[in-house]
Each structure stands twice: as C-alpha cells, then as structure tokens.
Amino acid sequence: MWRLICRRLLQAVPVLLVISLLTFLMVRLAPGDPFADERRMPEDIRARLAACYGFDQPLWKQYLQHMTHLLRGDLPSFRHPDRTVNEVIAAAFPVSLELGAYALLVALALGLPAGIIAAVRRNTAWDHVPMALAMSGICLPSFVLGPLLILAFALTLGWVNPMGWEHPSDRILPALTLGLYYAAYIARLARGGMLEILSQDFMRTARAKGLPGWQVVVRHGLRGGLLPVVTYLGPAVAGLLTGSFAVETIFFIPGLGRFFVTAAFNRDYTMVLGTVMFYAVLIVLLNLAVDVVHLWLDPRLRDGRTAQP
C-alpha cells in the first residue's frame, strides 16, 4: 500500500506541472488584462503597473515567478492587494468545504438507500420509481435545479432564504441543489453493484444457512456491493467541490467558487492559477484516498488480481 501511495504521488507531479502551465497560458490568451476598467487608463500608468507585476518580462519568466510565489505562499492577487492568494483560499475554502460536506451527506443519504432497496426489490415499484427519479436527477443540472428550488421553496412557500450563508436554514437549498445530482449517480451505482453481489454463490450460501434477509444484505453484501460507489466517491467529492462554483454564484455563498468566477471575469491571473492548482492537488489527494479505501475493501487488489466491480 505504501508503494501505491508513493507511486501515485510521484505520478501526480508531472500532471500538476502540466495543469499549471496550461492554466497560465489559457488565462493569458484570454482577451483583456487585470488592469482593464471602464475608464481608459493612461498608457504610462499601465506600463508602470505592468512593470510592477512583472508583465513586461517574458512569459516563461512570469510563469516561474508565479509558481515560486505560489509554493512560498505569497502569491499576490491583483484584485485583492491586501491579501495573498493563499490567504483568500484559506478564508473562503472552509465555506465551500462545508457546502460540499452537506451535499455529500444528501447524496449518500438519498442515493445509497435508494440503490440498495432497488436492487433487493428488483423489478418492482421499489426499483422502477427510484431509478426513474435517478435518471431525472442525472438529466437536470444544478444551474437549472437551483433556480427551481428557489422559486418553489423560497419565493413561493417562503420557507427559507433565497440566498446567503448566515443562518442554518441557508444551507438547505444549496446542499439539495448540489447533492441531488450526485445522489442519482450513487443510486444507480449502488443498485448495479448490489445486483452483482446478490447473484454470487456466497450470498446463496448465507441464505441457505437461514440468515435473515437483512443480515445477508448488510453483513455480506454491502462490502462488495458498494465498491462501485466507493470508486465513484473520489470524482464525486471533487465534483461537489468544483461544482459548487455555479451553486455559490446562484445562492451568493461566500465560498471559493465565487472568488474563482470573479477572478476569471476580472482577469485576476494569479487568483485563477492559485485556485486551479489548489483544486488540482485536492483532487489528487482525494483519488489517492479512494484507492486506499478500495484496497482495504477488496484485498484481492493487493495481490495484483483484478476484482469484480
């Protein structure tokens, strides 16, 4: 397992370098610059600002300077001159992390029971109804679901606030908006994994021994049946955190997603680079954690054998 961890970390280094280089070049190719404003800026002032931030140097030197400042933790932000990019991320990411945690709880609380019940009650109403709702959830993106929830529960019924992050009730609509989409995927994966396990010989043996049906499912079926869900959790958690960009914008949540969207519109090159690299490192660590959990759940992978999904 330690060899796997070390190998994955070493493989992540060139990937992160490529991501940083592509991000740097893409934001520079976009029209405009951080100093663009509604009023025309005198050319001498623009030249002084460019020299102050190093924009008059070659691109390769600017890239090395940005990466050096990023690694040292003092990468400046053009739109937040009183704070570094690392300070902005440290202040805003806990809000995005809290939103992602609530959305993950919604996805697991709704998706896992729906998928397990659908597999146990195959080809019945307990199977058809949840899977139909899951397919509808997959087809409905968060930027459409969010306004619909605001219209129904905030503007029409008045149960919650349509935006903000001050009261506990303000978490409900954003968590539902972000979590329902992933609950649909988890439900379908849980159903497929449980159907595969329920047809195995050891499950028939457990039933033949006289164990109750719920014990057969819980004690013998969940560990193998939920392997597809565990494998999906890495990309799902990464999607919950990065997918919060639209949700935070819709509900005016002061998370890192709003800073990223604002930085992209304002051509804040350093903020975009720092945010992308932060999420890239986070995704690498999440995928590594999922691989470790996968090895723990399926010991056959430790011997190099291929496990059945």
Domain annotation covers residue 207: yes
**Cα(39)–Cα(221) distance, integer angstroms:** 66
In this model, does residue 91 exceed pLDDT 70?
A: yes
Instruction: For the chain, give the number of residues.
Output: 309
Confidence at residue 306, expressed as pLDDT on a 0 to 100 scale: 41
Beta-carbon neighbour count of residue 263 at 10 Å?
Answer: 26
pLDDT tens digits, residue range 162-196?
A: 887 888 888 899 999 888 888 888 888 888 888 77
Domain end point (choices 72, 98, 131): 72
Give the residue among 83, 97, 100, 48 at the shortest CA–CA distance from 271: 83
* 189 CB-near residues (< 8 Å, 6+ apart): 115, 228, 229, 232
Q: What is the value of pTM for the model shown?
A: 0.74
Beta-carbon neighbour count of residue 183 at 10 Å?
Answer: 26
Domain end point (choices 72, 96, 129): 72
Least confident of 73-77, 119-123, 149-153, 294-298: 294-298
User: Which residues lie across from 84 on neighbouring strands?
Assistant: 76
Domain identity same for 111 and 19: no
pLDDT tens digits, residue range 46-72?
A: 677 777 767 777 888 888 888 888 888
Confidence at residue 309, expressed as pLDDT on a 0 to 100 scale: 38
CA dihedral 297, 303, 308, 309 (to 10 degrees): 50
Domain annotation covers residue 78: no
What's the domain range around 27? 2-72
Domain annotation covers residue 237: yes
Confidence at residue 221, expressed as pLDDT on a 0 to 100 scale: 66
Cα 199–Cα 203–Cα 205 angle in degrees, nearest 5: 125
Task: Yes or no: say if 108 and 269 are a contact pair by the CB < 8 Å rule.
Answer: no
pLDDT tens digits, residue range 256-278?
A: 887 888 888 777 888 888 888 88
Domain annotation covers residue 82: no
**Cα(58)–Cα(50) distance, integer angstroms:** 12
Q: Which residue has the higher pLDDT, 72 or 208?
A: 72
Q: Which residue has the higher pLDDT, 304 or 123?
A: 123
Q: Which residue has the higher pLDDT, 93 or 200?
A: 93
Confidence at residue 305, expressed as pLDDT on a 0 to 100 scale: 47
Quick one: pLDDT band at residue 125, thresholds 50, 70, 90?
Answer: confident
In this model, does residue 201 exceed pLDDT 70?
A: no
Confidence at residue 57, expressed as pLDDT on a 0 to 100 scale: 78
Domain annotation covers residue 153: yes
Domain annotation covers residue 79: no
Domain identity same for 103 and 24: no
Domain identity same for 298 and 152: yes
Least confident of 59-68, 142-151, 225-234, 290-299: 290-299
Q: What's the structural domain count of the chain?
A: 2
**Cα(137)–Cα(3) distance, integer angstroms:** 39
Domain identity same for 46 and 104: no
Domain end point (choices 45, 72, 99): 72
Task: Give the mean pLDDT of 248-252.
Answer: 85
